[in-house]
Structure 1
Amino acid sequence: MDQSFRTISRSGDVSELYRLIQRDGNILRHFDEVEFIETPLHVAADAGCIGFAMEMMKLKPSFARKLNQQGLSPIHLALEKGHKEMVLRFLEIDKYLVRVRGKNGETPLHYICKVGNHAILLDRFLKACPDCIRDVTTENRSALHIATENNRLDVLQVLIRTLKKNNYYWEELNRMDEHGNTALHIAASNNQTQMLKLLLSCKADKHATNQSGLTALGVAEQHNNRESIRILGGCFIPGVSSIKSEWEKQVVKYVAKASSTIFNDLDNISSDDRNALLVFLGLLLTGTYQATLSPPGGVWQGDNTSSGKTSRTPGASLLDQSDFLLFYIPTYVVFMVTFFLILALLKPFPHGFKKTIQVLLAFFAICFDQSISFIAPTDFALKVMEVFTLLFFVLTLVMFFTDRVSKPSVAILGCWLTPSELFDFVKGIPRDVDTLFLRLAIDGCWLFLFVKDDFWEGTIIVIGYCSYSIMYDVSWEAPHVKLEVAHSLMALGCWFFLYLCRFCFKQCCQRCCT
């Protein structure tokens, strides 16, 4: 580029540009003939001349993707110089410019992840082109790797929030660079505790190993980062941390293997087939539930009766015990299989939408289970169906470990089948006040152990559980409302007490480590 053209580009004189074009109509052609060259658009982007740059973009759109001799495109230069408005105008004309790869394969998104989210450009990039988050450098490093490497917590939070809306969330969260390191490995290496907590709360795979055969915990131990070791190990006692880590690794390994065997074909079907299957399974689930509400022969409509070995309560099935089990066991199996197939088919959907549907399905499953409990004609039939309830919950836990069911969904189901329900299977245990307090304390502790990582989410679940218990007790024990409400709030009290103990314990551990 001759000096006069460079001066015109840097000053942003559009009139002079057209005078040059009038003299030579092919004046811009030779820029296209050179692979790496500084174009007038590069000069204008570097100088911040928006008007001239936009005019050049209309005349020669190809200049926007050309790299200069330093391996930078015009949008890279505008970013480096801090020309926010210039960058936004580039995106208005061509949103895919955010994916232009420069030196070392870095895109404009990678540059923002390196220097920080100044001027809120990161949000605009991700809104314009959400898939740009999947671009990697020549070292196979994603935006998550770069943000973690440069300790940009605010950037990492925005990236993860965007990833959760896409079906490649888990893939990108656990992407490995050329050395096999995930973002979690990098955070552990640099002792970035806040980033570690954020990545772990998003279920980053802490069992993934790099090319050296080290997990994130192994990397932290290699660098003697005591706080990272405590966070990744889940305990400040090294022996316990290592046992717990190995146990979790084995559980995840076998559950993942079983999940792959069962659901691999479902993950690979086309969108049209997936939608058709969801419609079919939805109809099957609805039909199964309707069959539950309308058993053969109907239900007892009279008052409580008892004659010999036969007793009838309003709403109980008229079928005898054996016929009831022959009808409802296959019905429960069909419902259970259909329920889990739907959960498996939901995996590619956006995270927030999928989580909402899973919670709704959890409540639907509870209604199905409760309806069978109300219809059961005998105590033995009820106990048999409770075994299937327990199996249903165990399978939901397995789905949770394979990242196909959200934690709130499992917690909601667990509110209806906590370990305290095992009291009902044991004969001879009186249902007095002391036993009730013990049951509710067990419920509170169990819920704490399962949803302890998210305080507000867990609190909402526990309050919902307590509200259900209060309504249930009020409907059956109206004369003793005050006492029953106090009993029901035991679970909430246990939740807050245990969370306070957990907070104090963590503070003590941090002080010991420092």
Structure 2
Amino acid sequence: MDERIERMRQVAQQGNIDAFYLIIQEDVKLLEHMDKLPFVDTPLHIAAQAGHIPFAMELMRLKPSFSSKLNPDGYSPIHLALQNEHIELVRRLVEVDGDLVRVKGRAGITSLHYVAATTETDDHLNLLLDFLKACPNSIEDVTVRNESALHIALKYDKLEAFLHLVRWMRRNWSQNPILWESKVLNRKDEQGNTALHIAVSKNQPKAVKQLLYSGVDVNIKNLEGKKAGDILAQQTQVENSKIKVMLQRAGALPSSSIPQVYYYAQYLWTIFSRLEKSRLHFISEWIEISDDRRNVLLVVATLLLTVTYQGVLSPPGGLWQDDQSPGANQTNITLPVIRKFNSSAPLENEAGTPIGLRNFPFWVFLSLNSLTFMLSYSTILLLIPTQHIYRIVRLSLISLSICYIVSLTVIIPTRFWEIFWYVSTGLFVCIFLLNSSATCVAWSYKALL
């Protein structure tokens, strides 16, 4: 057995697939035996260290459990590939199994942590984004020192890696906003320091700016009871005026040192942050709708759209079938005050106009019916996919909304145009705003992908 294992290691070092299968023919349970060992240098470890892509892919296909196993030094195959700069092999491994990004090696370091600490070239930065794309939740992983990838990037002065991580989080914030805010953005390491504490101590204004823009809590204290502002106040021998201004605006420094103008900036910043978080929360809820619920909402919204449109074509009370004019002997007939919209002489009944047009309840119906139409219309816009092929559906919905407005112009007679002008104008504005909101949310979702 030991002799076969040694031969297997030599074959893996050479990347010889044919020789590998010759050994397997001698002992078909050899790989299973190696898999039972808690710590072992599997053929996949050796191939990953040597950079033999075809051999490693063959092992991944036959024995995928090897990819998450640690060797006696505490490293998985993907860790070994990273240490030896076999970037393409790392990408191939992650393509097969994205969860490999979360495999923890010695000291709880994942491949994301390793790249964040060692980033030197654009290939490393691209690899960082590849990891996050393959496994977004890997951003939550921490080492045994409770350090996230943000902590590590700042600790090793890898500013570009840090900026890439934070910008990626902002673009994908809607996937898990509450959890990421507590587990990533405001995560404390073993000394109680958040990423903001480290960025301030390292005098990194760009990092501080990105963290503040992302909504980091500026009032968190570390184990020594210090906030980020306290750490800044201790730095008397370095130029940190930019960070000082940013922390002042965020309310992280004593109020006595803040000029009055900064209070207004802080107030506006607070409003912006709340609006942005509300928008992201809305997008998050919208994205997380299951396909079944999406289909149910589409059916309900479509039915409401159909019923409200039909309500305009066949309003309650019906339509006048013929033109009728009041006779000479009817000139003194008046209508109840609550049932008329002007004080002029009796009105003609025009064919095709609603019978209940003079009734106040009819205008209540028309307003609520139009509101239901707009809400259903916007709901459908939000729920349909954002791909280019669905633009035809969006154009159709816009055309339908215009037809709704035109149908109102047909049934509302000329003498009521002043009233109708207010209703139709408000309707146009509401439809435009709702349509714009739906389009903006769709674009936001598309940008997040």
Q: Same fold (TM over 0.5)?
A: yes
Q: Cα–Cα, structure 1 residues 360 and 104, in superposed 2: closer, same or farther, change >3 Å?
A: farther
Taking the aligned partners of 2:71 and 2:402, their CA distance within structure 1 comes to 64
Given residue 305 of structure 2, which amino acid in structure 1 is its aligned partner? L
- Aligned match of 1:227: 242
Taking the aligned partners of 1:29 and 1:248, their CA distance within structure 2 comes to 59
Q: Cα–Cα, structure 1 residues 230 and 78, in superposed 2: closer, same or farther, change >3 Å?
A: same
Residues 75 and 108, structure 1, Cα contact 8 Å, conserved in 2: yes
- Aligned match of 1:441: none
Counting only pairs closer than 5 Å after superposition, residues 157-176 of structure 1 correspond to structure 2 as 159=168, 163=172, 168=175, 170-171=177-178, 174-176=181-183
- Aligned match of 1:239: 260
Residues 41 and 72, structure 2, Cα contact 8 Å, conserved in 1: yes
Counting only pairs closer than 5 Å after superposition, residues 478-497 of structure 1 correspond to structure 2 as none
Counting only pairs closer than 5 Å after superposition, residues 419-498 of structure 1 correspond to structure 2 as none
Taking the aligned partners of 1:221 and 1:393, their CA distance within structure 2 comes to 51
Deviation at 1:62, TM superposition (A): 2.5
Q: Cα–Cα, structure 1 residues 83 and 267, in superposed 2: closer, same or farther, change >3 Å?
A: closer
Residues 78 and 84, structure 1, Cα contact 8 Å, conserved in 2: yes
Taking the aligned partners of 1:221 and 1:332, their CA distance within structure 2 comes to 57
1:159-186 CA distance string (max 9 Å, x none): 359737xx61645763533429887887
Counting only pairs closer than 5 Å after superposition, residues 29-428 of structure 1 correspond to structure 2 as 29-57=32-60, 60-91=63-94, 93-116=96-119, 117-118=122-123, 120-122=126-128, 124-125=130-131, 129-131=134-136, 133=138, 136-138=141-143, 150-152=158-160, 155-156=164-165, 159=168, 163=172, 168=175, 170-171=177-178, 174-177=181-184, 178-179=187-188, 191-193=204-206, 196=209, 200=213, 204-205=214-215, 208=217, 211-212=220-221, 219=228, 223=232, 226-228=241-243, 233=249, 238-246=259-267, 249=270, 271-289=291-309, 291-292=311-312, 297=319, 319-320=357-358, 322=360, 325-335=363-373, 337-338=375-376, 346=383, 367=402, 377-380=416-419, 382-383=421-422, 406=440
Taking the aligned partners of 1:406 and 1:181, their CA distance within structure 2 comes to 37
Q: Cα–Cα, structure 1 residues 255 and 45, in superposed 2: closer, same or farther, change >3 Å?
A: closer
Taking the aligned partners of 1:196 and 1:187, their CA distance within structure 2 comes to 10
Residues 134 and 142, structure 1, Cα contact 8 Å, conserved in 2: yes
Deviation at 1:66, TM superposition (A): 0.6
1:200-256 CA distance string (max 9 Å, x none): 4xxx445x566439xxxx846853654356568499974343345357647977998
Given residue 127 of structure 2, which amino acid in structure 1 is its aligned partner? L
Deviation at 1:81, TM superposition (A): 1.0
Deviation at 1:90, TM superposition (A): 2.9
Taking the aligned partners of 1:142 and 1:69, their CA distance within structure 2 comes to 25
Taking the aligned partners of 1:25 and 1:35, their CA distance within structure 2 comes to 20
Given residue 73 of structure 2, which amino acid in structure 1 is its aligned partner? Q
1:358-398 CA distance string (max 9 Å, x none): 997996898589659965924355446767888x599979x
Q: In terms of mean alpha carbon deviation, does 155-164 or 103-112 score higher?
A: 155-164
Taking the aligned partners of 1:408 and 1:28, their CA distance within structure 2 comes to 49
Q: Cα–Cα, structure 1 residues 187 and 104, in superposed 2: closer, same or farther, change >3 Å?
A: same
Deviation at 1:74, TM superposition (A): 0.5
Q: Cα–Cα, structure 1 residues 93 and 253, in superposed 2: closer, same or farther, change >3 Å?
A: closer
Taking the aligned partners of 2:319 and 2:434, their CA distance within structure 1 comes to 32
Residues 285 and 339, structure 1, Cα contact 8 Å, conserved in 2: yes
Taking the aligned partners of 1:196 and 1:39, their CA distance within structure 2 comes to 45
1:285-325 CA distance string (max 9 Å, x none): 35435545776648999xxxxx957999x9x9663473652
Deviation at 1:82, TM superposition (A): 1.0
Q: Cα–Cα, structure 1 residues 368 and 65, in superposed 2: closer, same or farther, change >3 Å?
A: same
Deviation at 1:79, TM superposition (A): 1.6
Deviation at 1:67, TM superposition (A): 0.9
Residues 81 and 87, structure 2, Cα contact 8 Å, conserved in 1: yes
Residues 145 and 182, structure 1, Cα contact 8 Å, conserved in 2: yes
Taking the aligned partners of 1:230 and 1:293, their CA distance within structure 2 comes to 62
Residues 123 and 158, structure 1, Cα contact 8 Å, conserved in 2: no
Given residue 38 of structure 2, which amino acid in structure 1 is its aligned partner? E
Residues 133 and 142, structure 1, Cα contact 8 Å, conserved in 2: no
Aligned residues: 381
- Report the TM-score, using the length of structure 1 for normalisation: 0.52
Taking the aligned partners of 2:19 and 2:283, their CA distance within structure 1 comes to 65
1:28-60 CA distance string (max 9 Å, x none): 555333312333322232122345434544554
Residues 112 and 149, structure 2, Cα contact 8 Å, conserved in 1: yes
Residues 359 and 408, structure 1, Cα contact 8 Å, conserved in 2: no
Taking the aligned partners of 2:211 and 2:347, their CA distance within structure 1 comes to 56
- Report the TM-score, using the length of structure 2 for normalisation: 0.58
Given residue 245 of structure 1, which amino acid in structure 2 is its aligned partner? Q
Q: In terms of mean alpha carbon deviation, does 230-239 or 276-285 score higher?
A: 230-239
Cα-Cα RMSD: 6.0
- Aligned residue for 2:39, secondary structure, equals coil
Given residue 266 of structure 2, which amino acid in structure 1 is its aligned partner? S
Given residue 43 of structure 1, which amino acid in structure 2 is its aligned partner? I
Taking the aligned partners of 2:96 and 2:320, their CA distance within structure 1 comes to 67
Residues 67 and 102, structure 1, Cα contact 8 Å, conserved in 2: yes
